[in-house]
Structure 1
């Protein structure tokens, strides 16, 4: 999808981790790797016809700053941009920006099921909380 024009903006969510950017970046990469590996070949991915098979592929990787994941399936094409910034109060701000297109009637039904039902919001907030918690965990000796 990285060669296509970016899909329309859907929403943005953010959290602040009490950790330096390098620890947040490491936690973010570990989370993305784990999710992509787990989703590949899963039932939902097969039903939706995700491309790539894990649902997302890395489109942009700017270490310590930005990770953009692209994907598509029968009902949507999408991008999840994860951006790290210095938080004004200290720590690292993690922003998750979603862009997606939902073509046709089937796409609009899917949008209603996932976006308007707030399932997407819950999933993104859970992802941000997990990345934050992993970054804030003391490093193992």
Structure 2
């Protein structure tokens, strides 16, 4: 799959996971993941970085909804959700796509971002270069898979 720019942002990376659950179960799991329980730290980080948006509003997978650090700028139920945001050191997008397959659902998370100026370059080194971003996204995908499998009929 070719990585295409989102809002003229450069491609950073893509991570995928296959779950045996059907697309509707995975979509619900993605919604629960985004509405997740780890929000106190996320809100604090969003405020520290002066992220826009910095608060939650609406329903997580509805276009126009916001999460700390992200706005839902595109949503196609069961297929795609695009989250975008910005803060002191970066402008970014995280795009989730779901593709139904005979053996389940392939979930993809693509990241696009720019890191302007010397502070942005340092931030990229700390977040992307350290492997921290990769670890967080992979954990998020594993959590989505676990939720979908747990909630999917056998």
Fold match (TM-score > 0.5) = yes
Question: CA 1:41–1:131 in 2, change beyond 3 Å: closer, same or farther?
Answer: closer
Given candidates 142, 146, 152, the residue that maps to 1:129 is 142
Work out the number of aligned pairs and report it. Answer: 135
- Where in structure 1 do 4 or more consecutive aligned residues deviate above 4 Å? none
Residue aligning to 1:47:
48
| CA RMSD after TM alignment | 2.0
Given candidates 24, 27, 37, the residue that maps to 1:25 is 27
TM, length-normalised to structure 1 = 0.88
Alpha-carbon distance in 2 for matches of 1:138, 1:107: 40
Residue aligning to 1:8:
10
Flag structure 2 segments of 5+ consecutive residues without an equivalent: 1-5, 55-67
Residue aligning to 2:78:
64
Residue aligning to 2:122:
109
Alpha-carbon distance in 1 for matches of 2:152, 2:96: 22
**Contact between 2:21 and 2:152, CA under 8 Å: does it hold in 1?**
no
Matched residue SS, 1:30: helix
**Contact between 1:22 and 1:64, CA under 8 Å: does it hold in 2?**
yes
Structure with greater proportional helix content: 1
TM, length-normalised to structure 2 = 0.81
Deviation at 1:132, TM superposition (A): 0.5
